[in-house]
Amino acid sequence: MSVQADKDWWRGAVIYQIYPRSFQDSNGDGIGDLPGITQRLPYVASLGVDAIWISPFFTSPMKDFGYDVSDYCDVDPMFGTLQDFKALVARAHELGLKVMIDQVLSHSSDQHAWFKESRASRENPKADWYVWADPQPDGTPPNNWLSIFGGSAWQWDARREQYYLHNFLVSQPDLNFHCPAVQEALLDTVRFWLDLGVDGFRLDTINFYVHDHELRSNPPLPVEERDDSIAPRVNPYNHQYHLYSKNRPENLAFLERFRALLDEYPAATAVGEVGDAQRGLEIMGEYTTGENRVHMCYSFEFLSGELPSAQKVAHVLARVDEAAPDGWACWAYSNHDVVRHATRWNASPEAQKAMTTLMMCLRGSACIYQGEELGLGEADVAYEDLQDPYGIEFWPEFKGRDGCRTPMVWENNNSAAGFSEGKSWLPVSADHLAKAVDVAEQDPQALVHFYRKAIALRHANPALAKGDHDGVKHSGSVVYFTRSHEGEEIFCAINLSDGPARLQAPAGQWQSVAQELGGLDVGAVLSFAPWQVAVWKRGA
């Protein structure tokens, strides 16, 4: 008798992001690959996470390291083969891990066969598969839209004597979601991976799919409203309110088609990346509300530059409650696109522990990025070693994303930290070696053990994974709330400061369930040490 799949496994799940170029190299070429990931899956499973999210490994010219796809249904040879991917999925499932992969649907590589045909003429069968537009009478681009990577979002193409849209690199032309055939083709690629056993998808730049059909120019954004959470401060992209180049309401119809496809499978899920500085949480609410859009989304509130205060956390969660009352967030502090949070927040090990406990207690799912469980900070990559076109474009004011993408450190006894037997594609950070996995596993005080305990706390208490909350509040430096699920209540309070704090305890009979995390015992008044937590339980 087969076991019924849990369609809600994603709700409250802990997802571990793997950047394949930098996780484990199995063949000595200095670049991580799929067999390398398979080799290291027992370590990932030992953390207690529910799923892995693998950044793109599809066929690509690698101008943006896989986020420029030239074949959506094959593996780039540098990462292995489709057979290697099938083996990875099989091993992950043996270990109880779900497998999520990155789907880059908003744009392809300019080397994709679709784009090569589209740019050949204005009359071919795929002529409207990308966003083409005539110049203005003076030859300038159709409107003022800007690329996240700098400069105009329009590139002139001599073959068609038209401009094409690229929200990212010139080599990443945007697909035209107003064309029904494009939607069908993209959904076919999604089905391809579902049929290979994939459990879900991370949807890159989910709010960029659809552009304004009338190509209206974006309005300017007042200086006081500019926010560098999506693009670096020095990028003029921050000078516009991106009303027409992304965030279009027509996107909802496609997301409903996408969800309908996922619902044909036993327990497939998706998390969308919402990249917008002004309306991120509002869009998250729109995209995750109800049962017919994406399951969850994450925005950039906790990928911000400053360590969130208790007041900031309460404010963000209140906005989520308002914008997405029946939606579902996925929280992350670090990923492959931002400075690692240990450095970005200048966070001490104690602060990292408190923030980890907070993530595991908040309503929503959680995503951790490879190496953050070791306490890795941002690597300092010299200009001559840079690979990221974003950093090369805006150096030195913005150093790009290479500092968070350096190889995972497995061993503290060789030049490539156990990542590769060859010269790694990015240099291994010397500062990371002392925090290598083999060192951390032997040190009872290492952060990785705390991550395991915090993740186990979430799994042991269904209210923390799937429950509602009574609203996130703060008193001074303490953020606190109560989660509830099927008769179980969990009271959570975290002191987000390096000073002591006090809080009146909630009434009732409780028991502490976070002793292994240094949590406070039950008492009438909570007297917190710096960065200390209290997690209490009653009922069920």
Range 10-35 average pLDDT: 98
Q: Per the domain annotation, does 252 fall within a domain?
A: yes
User: Which pair of tokens denotes residue 528?
Assistant: 């917190």
Extract the tokens encoding 75: 């593996």
CATH for 186: 3.20.20.80
pLDDT higher than 80, residue 4: no
pLDDT at res. 1: 35
Task: Judge whether 426 and 23 are in contact, CB under 8 Å.
Answer: no
Asked if the structure places residue 503 within a domain, the reply is: yes
pLDDT band at 132 (very low <50, low <70, confident <90, very high): very high
- pLDDT at position 2: 44
Beta bridge partners of residue 469, listed in sequence order: 483
Could you list the beta-strand ranges (E) of 235-315.
269-273, 296-298
Higher pLDDT, 42 or 400: 42
Same domain as 485, residue 357? no
Residues 272, 341, single domain; the answer is yes
State mean pLDDT over 401-428. Answer: 95
When computed from its CA atoms, the radius of gyration of the chain, rounded to whole angstroms, is: 23
Residue type at 63 in one-letter notation: K
C-alpha angle 16-458-506 in degrees, rounded to nearest 5: 140
Q: For 497-512, write each residue's pLDDT tens digit.
A: 999 999 999 999 999 9
Query: Is 214 part of a structural domain of the chain?
Result: yes
Name every residue whose Cβ is closer than 8 Å to that of residue 172 and which is 6 or more positions away in sequence.
63, 64, 67, 68, 107, 108, 109, 110, 166
Q: How many CB atoms lie within 10 A of CB 16?
A: 25
Q: How confident is the model at residue 391 (pLDDT cuts 50, 70, 90)?
A: confident
* H runs (alpha helix) in 47-150: 82-94, 113-118
| Residue 304, both tokens | 């911000």
Tell me if residue 369 falls in helix, strand or coil: strand
- In a shared domain, residues 356 and 484: no
The predicted pLDDT at position 3 comes to 53
Does residue 497 share a domain with residue 399?
Answer: no
Name beta bridge partners: 53: 17, 100
| Predicted confidence (pLDDT) at residue 185 exceeds the cutoff of 70 | yes
pLDDT in tens, 226-242: 988 788 888 999 999 99
Where in the sequence numbering do the catalytic residues fall?
204, 264
d(CA 237, CA 519): 44
Q: How many domains does the chain have?
A: 2
Confirm whether 142 is domain-assigned.
no
Q: Which long-range contacts (CB under 8 A, 24 or more apart) does 216-221 make?
A: 216/143, 216/243, 216/244, 217/143, 217/144, 217/145, 217/244, 218/143, 218/144, 218/145, 218/146, 218/242, 218/243, 218/244, 218/245, 219/243, 221/278
d(C-alpha 330, C-alpha 345), whole Å: 20
CA-wise closest residue to 60 among 109, 118, 114: 109
Amino acid identity, residue 3?
Answer: V
Say yes or no: 200 and 73 in one domain. Answer: yes
270 bridge partner residues: 201
* 37 and 97 belong to one structural domain: yes
For the chain, percent of residues with pLDDT exceeding 90 = 91
Residue 220 to residue 236: CA distance in whole angstroms: 11
pLDDT at 285: 95
Q: Phi, psi at residue 536, to the nearest 5°?
A: -120, 155
- What pLDDT sits at residue 447? 98
User: Rounded to an integer, what distance in angstroms lies between the CA atom of residue 375 and that of residue 354?
Assistant: 13
Q: Do 342 and 248 fall into the same domain?
A: yes
Query: Within a 13 Å sphere around the CA of 174, how many CA atoms are in the beta-carbon half?
Result: 29
Count of C-beta atoms within a 10 Å radius of residue 142 = 20
Question: Do 244 and 198 fall within a single domain?
Answer: yes
Which CATH number do you get for residue 532?
Answer: 2.60.40.1180
Does residue 73 fall inside a structural domain?
Answer: yes
Together in a domain, 451 and 498: no
| Residue 351 belongs to a domain | yes
Q: Looking at the structure, do residues 184 and 272 belong to the same domain, yes or no?
A: yes
In a domain, 141, yes or no: no
Question: In whole angstroms, how far apart are CA 525 and each of 49, 241, 469, 503, 507?
Answer: 34, 47, 22, 6, 11
**520 is a domain residue:** yes
Range of the domain at 482: 468-538
Q: Within this chain, do residues 452 and 504 fall inside the same structural domain, yes or no?
A: no
Sign of CA dihedral 361, 362, 367, 372: negative
Task: Report pLDDT digits (tens) over 317-360.
Answer: 999 999 999 899 999 999 999 999 999 999 999 999 999 999 99
Q: 3-class DSSP state for residue 323?
A: helix
pLDDT by residue (tens digit) across 435-484? Answer: 999 999 999 999 999 999 999 999 999 999 999 999 999 999 999 999 99
Q: What is the mean pLDDT of residues 85-108?
A: 98
Neighbours of 360 (CB within 10 A): 27
Q: Per-residue pLDDT tens for 417-429?
A: 999 999 999 999 9
Together in a domain, 368 and 485: no
Round to whole Å and give the CA distance between 531 and 24: 34
